[in-house]
Amino acid sequence: MPNGGVSGSEATSIAVVGMSGRFPGARNVAAFWENIRKGRETIRVFTEQELLAAGERPELVRDPTYVRACGYLDGIDQFDAAFFGISPRDAAVFDPQHRLFLECAWEAFEDAGYRAAKIGAPVGVFAASGASDYFTYNLVTNEEILRSIGAWLLRHTGNDPNFLATRVSYELDLVGPSMNVQTACSSSLVAVHLACQSLLNGECDMALAGASTVYPEQRGYLYRPGEILSPDGHCRAFDAQAGGTVMASAVGSVLLKRLSDALRDGDCIRAVIRGSAINNDVLTRSGTSPQVSADRLRSFPRL
């Protein structure tokens, strides 16, 4: 074999050696796959009392177009700040999206059998998060916090999406490329692609990739015809009865290595990425839905 006993496919492939996540109805990846295997729907339908207790307006809850469903994530208020050496004051103004992604980052290394700070090689971080509703609706509206800390420090302490990746690199003592990725709904997959490219380019020897979106309140949504949201609170992907999506919270991350390195080091390999690519369909789309022409499909490289 070329490359000192490494095949060509091994030299250009990426191994998934660790993973972690938090999902509606599943606190970890194992529970997530068990839900899929048993066909469990984990979208939560709230009662009127639960919605009113969460602060939803009575007239909104009783609106016939209001859908009382959401993919709610449990445990978003249970961040172990002391584990990361974060003070209670800083933890209180730390966006739940950032909190949970930091915990999942640690768990991905743990799942792979590594301690992040002890790897001794460049480790990249490629991460994404949603808009900081926590900052907008919980912090800025609190006059005491705003006065004692200040808006600038509040935003930069742990709420600005632009600092998610570098915050993880800092807290876990990771030396390598650290990049926040924002491409809307495709952000997590683009993060994985960029992590693969960074590994293949030799910028790092391991890479963490993932994303976090957390809606901290138990609320539903108003259905409007023509929008992307489901009229009945069910998400039926790739189904003839599909009517839209449902807002949900989730966090996920994967730890990646070059396949040749993973085989050499005896890592537990969960999956192998043989290739990846990103593109933009621009005017060939029908509205905002993804649509790729046959000619473009033929032009993509075969793996």
**Angle in degrees, 0-180, between the axes of helices 164-172 and 96-112, rounded to the nearest 10:** 50
Mean pLDDT by 10 residues, the chain (303 residues): 54 94 96 95 94 93 96 90 91 92 97 93 96 84 85 83 94 96 94 98 97 88 93 92 93 97 97 92 61 55 51
| Residue 191 amino acid letter | A
From the candidate CATH numbers 3.30.70.890, 3.40.47.10, 3.30.420.40, 3.30.10.20, the one assigned to the domain spanning 8-23+73-214+249-299: 3.40.47.10
Which of 148, 58, 111 lies closest to 271, judged by CA? 111
> What pLDDT sits at residue 4?
46
> What pLDDT sits at residue 2?
40
> What pLDDT sits at residue 290?
52
Which of 1, 11, 16, 51 lies closest to 206, judged by CA? 16
Please give the biggest Cα pair distance in the chain.
Answer: 70
Residue 20 and residue 108 in contact, taking contact as beta carbons nearer than 8 Å: yes
CA distance 63 to 57: 10
Q: CA 181, 185, 190: angle at the middle one, nearest 5?
A: 40
Q: What residues does each domain of the chain span?
A: 8-23+73-214+249-299
DSSP 135-198: IIIIITT-HHHHHHH-HHHHHHHHT-GGGHHHHHHHHHT--S-EEE---GGGHHHHHHHHHHHH
Q: CA 67 → CA 49, 231, 247, distances in Å?
A: 14, 7, 11
Run of H or E including 273:
strand 271-273
CA distance 280 to 172: 34
> What pLDDT sits at residue 193?
97
